[in-house]
Amino acid sequence: MSKKFRVYLDSGANIHSKYEQEVDLDDLGITDEEWDEMDGDERNEVMKEIAWERVDWGFEEIN
């Protein structure tokens, strides 16, 4: 069994603004050994991608 994580993103806007998802390394195609070899920045990037995948943001210029 691979390591399991709870990944979340909370804008703090209200009680409904938190998105949460549970994933394990198998879901991500990463072995426990590969995870253990990653540094903190690499781990942050992997989890940040999961947290932000459902976020919709952008901007547009208006006149």
- 59 pLDDT exceeds 90? no
- 40 pLDDT exceeds 90? yes
- 35 pLDDT exceeds 90? yes
Q: In the block, which residue shows the tokens 């804008």? A: 11
Residue 34: its H or E element: helix 32-37
Please tell me the distance from the alpha carbon of residue 38 to that of residue 22, in angstroms, as a whole number. Answer: 20
